[in-house]
């Protein structure tokens, strides 16, 4: 250093202590190092050892310090004093709050537990909140999956025992071509960014299929700017091309899928469409060694992909023949789909050929010996290095389930699932659909429900129906309306409860779900429903309890508010029983723990449920003598036993000879072990078990040892889905459980056991609305509770509607213009901006930037409240009336997934209004006004 330059201390004190916990700025669940100074949070960075993020951290994670100190934090329990929706509350004590809640809930439990509807939003403790609801005895419980990505999850589970995100990931280390569909830049956010970085570093290529070329699609080597809702059509065309050219992995299909399983192909037969089974119920294949029937999993069996079997006058054909019928149909030819997808036939053909080239001409082989469930030992692991990932963009359409099925079919046909370079499951996945619970709904006053609420029906007998055949659940999940609604249908709860259809409820209990704003379709009407009164002047939905850490828009609509803590002030477990944080090569779970103590009168919601559960005497929350079982959530995390040897956390359990992982008895020091080891537990998958997991004996044995299952559960992928066929058969009039007449036709069409594509259901009534309208979550903001963050809101404080060049020019738009955007449901007036890298018939905006005046401790003139807006106003939970006089649900007929992205609009230039329209009256803020300047530094 030259002597005339200032002296600089290059080794300043960094922090007094680093506390390692788990981020909760979104659902990605990265490990974070929280640097503490004088007992305060000074700086947050990623944890390098953590399996999810390996040290990196996104904008939201780094902005956590502004979240923990946000002025919008609720300060104490609130009791409503003004009319519902006014935001007028008084702060009360926890004792009073819990007495009120107990006073409301206890009589319900004793007489009609279903009158409590308990729905949790972006809950990361569903195995706990579900247990609470089950113990209460109400069938009305679910989280937010129904309006998020249930199509993706359910299609993945039913097809191959896992989907994307917490279920599976591309083999980033080996893939040579990565195909990304419909990802709105949110879920699995850091792992995908890390993965993209890694494949780019290796010179591998990436193709984006998305109407919008932002974010990940901006760095894709090739971009297919597809028309929204037609991904399935494109995928069908790709499958058509690949099959037509014989470019499918026959070996893989025969061994590891049900393509060789025999199906009753006689339409006159009672079991038409069902798999041929032996006396033990095992699907049958023809064994190539003998030419005879054999169970699919028989030792040494070599399933024949093409042999048929005739028995008792009925022909049984292999599934693969039915697939040929389906996919080789000329309606899926590239020329036939080009116009609707917006992708030329040449480009579709080139994409199919590229997939085939990489999968088969650039195949890779790892010299790792492994033995499959038929006892056959393979000396190599053959990889088809094409990997795919998809999310809400293909999921949130009314055809999303079958589109996701088609996508998985494409992956499987290429032999690229659970093989090197393809897609890999993350333990405890893969898990066959038959290995999941089925839904339960049997209500007994004063007692627990007969089993877990959510699951995977195998046939009509598993639906949640009343004696009369109507929906048993308030959200109508698992009813004939949406038989496979595996995540429930939170988006229907308020409108059904308001309509008293299927029945009236008493108390709506919500957690972290902004239903009066960005988490509902048709926001204005939702507000009306929440505040509507009957002839006596009583609220139609009599009581609403809400828990949130922040002054969100929903707070104003509650009668009782239970203030939650921020994520750095609480215990949490990211459990294998729930949505774990595992990676393909390792099983992992994690905790949060209070790295700082709350400075307000707030309590972690899960601890409050432990308390409330004890006050209500819920089984599972009281001891035999009726005393309270869990002091708090940490107590539950440590001591709850789900199955013998299995608890919420898998690390550091008590074995016979000491601490062990996976199975074991509760260990009083478990949370301390987690804290000491960085806030997570991880165990690597043995090398020989790393691929072919559903079929690999070494993996199955390891999974049993870890406690994922109690016995090996090998299975093959369900290209043909029998549960769907069983529902379809009911619609055809077969079987004891029959759907209502008005649903027969649509069930027959949509519960197709092989994937297909159909026009999004709303299109028919959207004539005159030529444009598709989408939302995306910005990477720096995704998940609405980030939007009041002082640092992040500067990045995304307003959300123009992005308009493609063709429409921009047609309407003569200029910078700074506004437009009226209307759908069959309503209209909004919003600022517009030009974007060229966009499907020419699509407009879009950033999601959930718009805020209600009075919420989130923002000033009433904050741009989020004056220029920000929601597309939600344009979306209805029901479609407009059709010729049949019915208003069909705006959702996927299979799963009930909310079809957000089916939205069709038209646009017209408009004079600039004072504020984006519709504008809503401010609500009173339950928290004091925020500071005028901020210069946050906790150290000296």
Give, to the nearest 10 degrees, the angle between helix 150-160 and helix 400-413: 40
Q: Which of 594, 797, 880, 922 binds other proteins (CB under 8 A)?
A: 797
What are the structure tokens assigned to 726, written together?
């069983």
Residues in 71-90 at the binding interface with other proteins, rule: CB under 8 A? 71
Nearest to 382 by CA among 424, 413, 411, 416: 416
Stretch that binds other proteins, among 2-10, 572-580, 586-594, 692-700 (CB under 8 A): 2-10
Q: Mask 877-916, x = binds other proteins (CB under 8 A)?
A: ----------------------------------------
Angle of helix 741-750 relative to helix 722-731, nearest 10 degrees? 150
- Of residues 211-250, those binding other proteins (CB under 8 A): 213-223, 225, 241-247, 250
154 belongs to the binding site for other proteins (CB under 8 A)? no
Smallest CA-to-CA distance from 915 within 870, 846, 850, 866 is with: 866
Task: Name the residue nearer to other proteins (CB basis): 141 or 517.
Answer: 517
Tell me which of 68, 390, 798, 898 binds other proteins, using CB under 8 A: 798
Task: Decide whether 45 or 88 has the Cβ nearer to other proteins.
Answer: 45
Under the binding rule (CB under 8 A), the answer on residue 351 touching other proteins is yes
Say how far apart CA 505 and CA 116 lie, in whole Å: 6
Note whether 196 binds other proteins by CB under 8 A: yes
Give the nearer residue to other proteins in terms of CB position, either 249 or 462: 249
CB of 215 to other proteins, least distance (A): 5
- The set of residues, in sequence order, having a beta carbon less than 8 Å from that of 784 and lying 6+ positions away, is 514, 517, 518, 519, 552, 848
Q: Which is nearer to other proteins, 452 or 797 (CB)?
A: 797
Helix, strand or coil, per DSSP, at residue 511: strand
Integer CA distances (angstroms), 615 to 205, 357, 546, 634, in order = 57, 63, 18, 18
Tell which one of 268, 736, 921, 937 touches other proteins (CB under 8 A): 937
Nearest to 397, CA basis, from 387, 388, 385, 405? 405
**Quick one: which of 19, 193, 725, 906 contacts other proteins (CB under 8 A)?**
193
Sign of torsion over alpha carbons 401, 406, 411, 417: positive
Query: Strands (DSSP E) along 379-457, which ranges?
Result: 381-383, 386-390, 423-425
In the complex, the smallest distance separating the C-beta of residue 173 from other proteins, rounded to whole angstroms, is: 14
Q: Return the residue of 184, 352, 443, 608 that touches other proteins, per CB under 8 A.
A: 352
Residues 320/412, Cβ–Cβ less than 8 Å? no
Nearer to other proteins, 166 or 241 (CB): 241
**Sign (positive or negative) of CA dihedral 786, 790, 794, 795:** negative
Sign for the CA dihedral angle at 421, 426, 427, 433 comes to: negative
Q: Which is nearer to other proteins, 123 or 264 (CB)?
A: 264
The residues in 722-781 that bind other proteins, with binding defined as CB under 8 A, are 779-780
Considering the rule CB under 8 A, would residue 305 count as an interface residue with other proteins? yes
Question: Considering beta carbons, is residue 58 or 117 the nearer one to other proteins?
Answer: 58
Closest contact distance (angstroms) between CB of 332 and other proteins is: 12
Q: Which is nearer to other proteins, 656 or 861 (CB)?
A: 861
Q: Which is nearer to other proteins, 511 or 550 (CB)?
A: 550
CB-based contact 184:777 (threshold 8 Å): yes
Least separation, in Å, of the C-beta of 860 and other proteins? 9
Count of CA atoms in the C-beta half-sphere (13 A) of 187: 25
Residue 651 interacts with other proteins (CB under 8 A)?
A: no
Closer residue to other proteins, CB minimum distance, 536 or 937: 937
User: In terms of CB distance, is 231 or 559 closer to other proteins?
Assistant: 231
Site for other proteins in 323-342 (CB under 8 A): 324-325, 328-329
Interface of this chain with other proteins, residues 813 to 872, rule: CB under 8 A: 835-838, 857-859, 861-863, 866
Among 50, 176, 349, 405, binds other proteins (CB under 8 A): 349
Give the interface segment with other proteins, choosing from 57-65, 125-133, 411-419, 487-495 (CB under 8 A): 57-65
| From candidates 13, 538, 658, 914, binder to other proteins by CB under 8 A | 13
Cβ 62 to other proteins shortest distance, Å: 4
Minimal distance in Å, beta carbon 57 to other proteins? Answer: 5
Convert 770-804 to b/e letters by CB count within 10 Å (16 or more is b).
ebbbbbbbbbbbbbbbbbbbbbbbeebbbbbbbbb
Could you give the 3-state DSSP secondary structure of residue 659?
Answer: strand
412 sits near other proteins (criterion: CB under 8 A): no
**C-alpha distance from residue 131 to each of 116, 451, 465, 474, 619 (Å):** 14, 9, 21, 18, 10
Only one of the segments 5-13, 489-497, 518-526, 621-629 lies at the binding site for other proteins (rule: CB under 8 A); that segment is 5-13
Rounded distance between C-alpha atoms, residue 314 and residue 524, angstroms: 57
Of 501 and 859, nearer to other proteins (C-beta) is 859
Using CB under 8 A as the binding rule, whether residue 596 contacts other proteins is answered as no
User: To the nearest whole angstrom, how small is the minimum distance from the Cβ of residue 796 to other proteins?
Assistant: 6
Selected range binding other proteins among 34-42, 498-506, 685-693, 735-743, rule: CB under 8 A: 34-42
What residues contact 801, with CB distance under 8 A and at least 6 apart? Answer: 819, 821, 830, 831, 832, 833, 843, 844, 845, 907
Using CB under 8 A as the binding rule, whether residue 936 contacts other proteins is answered as yes
Stretch touching other proteins by CB under 8 A, among 599-607, 753-761, 912-920, 932-940? 932-940
Give me the least distance between CB of 650 and other proteins, in Å please: 27
Q: What are phi and psi of 592, to 5 degrees?
A: -115, 150
DSSP 646: B
Q: Which is nearer to other proteins, 153 or 865 (CB)?
A: 865
Residue 762 burial by Cβ neighbours in a 10 Å radius (0-12, 13-18, 19+): buried
Q: Which is nearer to other proteins, 8 or 468 (CB)?
A: 8
Q: Nearest approach, Cβ of 446 to other proteins (angstroms)?
A: 48
Contact 142, 454 (CB under 8 A): yes
Among 210, 255, 297, 403, binds other proteins (CB under 8 A): 255
445 binds other proteins (CB under 8 A): no
Per CB under 8 A, 918 contacts other proteins:
no
Q: Which is nearer to other proteins, 714 or 723 (CB)?
A: 714
Give the binding range for other proteins (CB under 8 A) out of 56-64, 76-84, 125-133, 335-343.
Answer: 56-64
Of 354, 501, 632, 665, the residue at the interface with other proteins (CB under 8 A) is: 354
Question: According to the binding rule CB under 8 A, does residue 27 interact with other proteins?
Answer: no
At residue 878, what are phi and psi to the nearest 5 degrees?
-120, 150
CB of 383 to other proteins, least distance (A): 18
Nearest residue (CB) to other proteins, 247 versus 744: 247
Closest of 751, 848, 769 to residue 148, by C-alpha: 848
**Cα 853 versus chain centre, distance:** 29
Count of positions on this chain that bind other proteins (CB under 8 A): 120
C-beta of residue 236 within 8 angstroms of C-beta of residue 406 = yes
CA nearest 273: which of 624, 720, 585, 683? 720
* C-beta separation of 869 from 847 below 8 A: no
| Residue (656 or 932) nearer to other proteins, CB | 932
Extract the tokens encoding 525: 């009407």
Of 320, 425, 621, 681, which one interacts with other proteins (CB under 8 A)?
Answer: 320
Rounded Cα–Cα distance for residues 446 and 455 (Å): 24
């Amino acid at each position: 250093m030259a002597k005339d330059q200032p002296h600089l201390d290059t080794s300043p004190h960094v922090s007094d202590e680093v506390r390692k916990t788990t981020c909760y700025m979104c659902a990605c669940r990265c490990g974070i190092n929280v640097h503490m100074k004088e007992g305060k949070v000074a700086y947050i960075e990623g944890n390098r050892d953590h399996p999810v993020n390996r040290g990196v951290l996104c904008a939201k994670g780094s902005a956590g310090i502004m979240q923990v100190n946000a002025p919008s934090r609720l300060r104490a329990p609130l009791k409503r004093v003004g009319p519902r929706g006014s935001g007028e509350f008084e702060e009360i004590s926890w004792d009073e709050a819990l007495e009120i809640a107990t006073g409301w809930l206890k009589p319900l439990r004793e007489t009609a537990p279903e009158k409590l509807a308990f729905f949790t939003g972006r809950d990361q403790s569903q195995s706990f909140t579900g247990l609470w609801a089950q113990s209460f005895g109400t069938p009305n419980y679910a989280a937010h999956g129904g309006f998020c990505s249930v199509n993706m999850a359910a299609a993945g589970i039913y097809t191959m025992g896992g989907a994307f995100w917490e279920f599976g990931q591309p083999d980033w280390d080996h893939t040579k071509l990565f195909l990304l569909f419909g990802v709105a830049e949110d879920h699995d956010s850091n792992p995908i960014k890390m993965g993209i970085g890694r494949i780019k570093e290796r010179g591998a290529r990436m193709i984006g299929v998305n109407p919008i070329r932002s974010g990940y699609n901006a760095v894709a080597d090739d971009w297919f700017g597809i028309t929204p809702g037609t991904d399935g059509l494109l995928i069908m065309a790709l499958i058509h091309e690949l099959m037509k050219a014989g470019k499918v992995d026959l070996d893989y299909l025969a061994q590891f899928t049900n393509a060789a399983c025999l199906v009753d192909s006689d339409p006159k037969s009672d079991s038409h469409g069902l798999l041929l089974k032996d006396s033990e119920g095992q699907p049958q294949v023809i064994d190539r060694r003998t030419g005879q029937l054999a169970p699919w999993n028989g030792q040494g069996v070599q399933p024949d992909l093409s042999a048929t079997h005739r028995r008792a006058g009925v022909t049984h054909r292999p599934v693969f023949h039915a697939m040929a019928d389906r996919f080789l149909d000329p309606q899926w030819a590239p020329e036939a789909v080009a116009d609707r997808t917006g992708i030329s036939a040449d480009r579709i053909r080139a994409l199919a050929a590229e997939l085939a080239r990489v999968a088969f001409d650039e195949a890779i082989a790892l010299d790792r010996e492994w033995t499959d469930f038929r006892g056959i030992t393979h000396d190599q692991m053959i990889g088809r290095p094409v990997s795919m990932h998809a999310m809400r963009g293909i999921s949130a359409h009314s055809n999303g389930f079958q589109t996701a099925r088609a996508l998985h079919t494409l992956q499987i046909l290429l032999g690229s699932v659970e093989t090197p370079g393809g897609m890999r499951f993350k333990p405890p996945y893969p898990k066959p659909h038959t290995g999941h619970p089925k839904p339960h709904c049997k209500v007994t006053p004063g007692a627990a429900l007969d089993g877990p609420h959510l699951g995977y029906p195998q046939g009509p007998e598993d639906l949640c129906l009343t004696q009369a055949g109507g929906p048993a659940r308030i959200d109508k999940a698992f009813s004939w309306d949406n038989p496979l609604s595996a995540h429930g249908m939170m988006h229907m709860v308020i409108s059904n409860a308001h309509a008293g259809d299927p029945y009236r409820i008493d108390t709506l209990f919500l957690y972290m779900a902004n239903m009066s704003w960005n988490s509902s379709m048709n926001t204005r009407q939702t507000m009306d429903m929440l505040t509507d009164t009957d002839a006596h002047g009583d609220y139609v939905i009599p009581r609403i309890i809400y828990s949130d850490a922040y002054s969100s828009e929903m707070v104003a609509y509650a009668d009782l508010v239970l203030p939650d803590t921020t994520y750095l002030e609480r215990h949490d477990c990211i459990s294998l029983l729930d949505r774990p944080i595992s990676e393909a090569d390792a099983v992992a779970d994690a905790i949060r723990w209070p790295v700082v103590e709350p400075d307000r009168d707030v309590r972690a919601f899960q601890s409050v449920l432990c308390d409330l559960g004890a006050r209500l005497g819920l089984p599972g929350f009281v001891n035999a003598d009726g005393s309270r079982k869990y002091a708090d959530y940490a107590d539950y995390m440590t001591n709850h036993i789900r199955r013998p040897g299995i608890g919420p956390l898998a690390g550091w359990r008590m074995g016979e000879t000491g601490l062990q992982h996976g199975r074991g008895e509760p260990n009083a020091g478990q949370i301390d072990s987690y804290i000491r080891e960085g806030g997570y537990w991880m165990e690597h998958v043995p090398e020989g078990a790393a691929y072919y997991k559903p079929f690999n004996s070494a993996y199955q044995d390891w999974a049993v040892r870890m406690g994922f299952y109690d016995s090996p559960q090998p299975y093959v992928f369900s290209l043909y889905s029998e549960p769907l066929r069983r529902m379809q058969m009911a619609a055809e009039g077969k079987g004891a459980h029959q759907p209502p007449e008005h649903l027969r036709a649509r069930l027959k069409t949509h519960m197709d056991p092989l994937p297909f594509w159909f026009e999004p259901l709303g299109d028919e009534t959207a004539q005159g609305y030529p444009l598709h309208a989408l939302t995306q979550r910005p990477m720096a903001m995704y998940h609405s509770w980030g939007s009041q963050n002082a640092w992040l809101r500067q990045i995304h404080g307003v959300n123009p509607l992005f308009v493609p060049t063709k429409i921009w020019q047609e309407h003569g738009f200029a910078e700074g213009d506004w437009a009226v955007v209307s759908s069959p449901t309503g209209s909004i007036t919003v600022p517009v901006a030009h974007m060229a890298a966009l499907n020419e018939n699509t407009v879009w905006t950033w999601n959930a930037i718009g805020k209600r005046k009075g919420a989130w401790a923002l000033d009433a003139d904050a741009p989020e409240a004056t220029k920000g807006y929601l597309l939600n106003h344009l979306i209805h939970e029901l479609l407009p009336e059709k010729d049949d006089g019915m208003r069909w649900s705006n959702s996927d007929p299979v799963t009930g997934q909310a079809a957000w992205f089916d939205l069709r609009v038209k646009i017209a230039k408009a004079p600039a209004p004072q504020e984006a329209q519709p504008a809503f009256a401010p609500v009173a803020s339950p928290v004091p006004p925020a500071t005028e300047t901020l210069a946050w530094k906790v150290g000296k």
